[in-house]
Amino acid sequence: MWGIIFAASLIILSFVYPSEFLINLFTQILIMGLFATSLNLLVGYTGMVSFGHAGFFGVGAYTAAVILQKYSTSVGFAFGTTIVFSAIAALIIGSFCIRLGSIYFAMLTLAFNQIIYIIVIRWTDMTGGDQGLIGGIPLPGFLSTQRAYFIFTVIVVAASLVICKLVVDSPFGAILKVIRENADRAYSLGIRVKSYQLIVFVMAGIFGGISGALMSLSISGAYPDFCYWAKSAEPIFMVVVGGMNSFLGPLLGAAIFKILIAYSTMYTNLWGLIIGGVLVLIILLVRKGLADYVMEFVAARSVDGPKNLLSPKKTG
């Protein structure tokens, strides 16, 4: 229900404020919000910190772009192929990475990320090499305008977020949280920890791939930067700033990230310094994601309120 309201509100907003700048900005926020949410399935709900999530973003971007540009297929087929390729890549990579824990898991995901990057650079005939897949991506008439593509993005992202929400609120999601809190205890309870970790790793890869496909269609191209290791820092920033314990935290982090970049680049080339400064301030002052902080504050007020109402008044 909330997903439908969210999607409808954004679509209406695109007609109320038909600014090309705002429509493009909101499109980018939604795409990066899905990218960050897919990472948070690993970080926030399972306790698996990945430094190589951009690899799936790149797989999705190049798969959709190549399918549409070189083979002139439908958008639906391109996204279906993206899901399949992203799932296969995540299954292969995840089967190796889940064998390790902590920092070794993170570093192995980074290593696989760079393998994908090298493949993109070297496979020039298919990917365009270090120049990227230029020349534009043909889209059907119903996606030919900026607003039309924004509406398409809203629908795809909203549907993806609803699926993610159903997963994290399901018994499967509850088991992921048990694994996050104490994997050894989960083992002792008979939970097949590695199987659950692999499943959620594949899910995260699929939604990361979908976000990459959306991005490639949005800018009508795919570039090696999409799967470079530094790209993986962006969803980590969004998750940390927005909040990893709140489902909408990564989406909030994506909004903060894209708005900061959009407006800071108008006045200075030191946008990286601004992004880093915001991250440092939030870590030092708030010490948690903004959405997490707000939720805890509201929860504390709701608990203290009834206590204050029910507590006996002091008499002189």
pLDDT digits (tens, 9 = 90+) for 145-167: 888 999 999 999 999 999 999 99
At residue 262, the pLDDT reads: 87
Gap between the Cα atoms of 101 and 49, Å rounded = 9
Query: How would residue 73 be classed by pLDDT, with cut points 50, 70 and 90?
Result: confident
Query: How would residue 219 be classed by pLDDT, with cut points 50, 70 and 90?
Result: very high
Q: Which two tokens stand for residue 252?
A: 């909030």
Angle, CA of 103, 210 and 149, to the nearest 5°: 140
**Sign of the CA dihedral 73, 74, 75, 76?**
negative
CA distances from 239 to 257, 297, 309 (A): 10, 19, 37
> Beta partners for 133?
222
Tokens 């002189």 appear where?
316
Does position 112 have pLDDT exceeding 80, yes or no? Answer: yes
Mean pLDDT of the chain, nearest integer = 87
pTM for this structure?
Answer: 0.90
Mean pLDDT of 292-299: 81
Does position 182 have pLDDT exceeding 70, yes or no? Answer: yes
Task: Compute the chain's Rg from CA coordinates.
Answer: 21
Query: How would residue 88 be classed by pLDDT, with cut points 50, 70 and 90?
Result: very high
* pLDDT tens-place string over residues 254-293: 999 998 888 888 887 877 888 888 888 887 887 788 888 8
Gap between the Cα atoms of 57 and 126, Å rounded = 17
* CA-wise closest residue to 221 among 212, 208, 230: 212
In this prediction, what percent of the chain has a pLDDT beyond 70?
93
Which range has the worst mean pLDDT, 23-32, 148-157, 192-201, 276-285? Answer: 276-285
CB atoms within 10 A of CB 1: 6
At residue 2, the pLDDT reads: 58
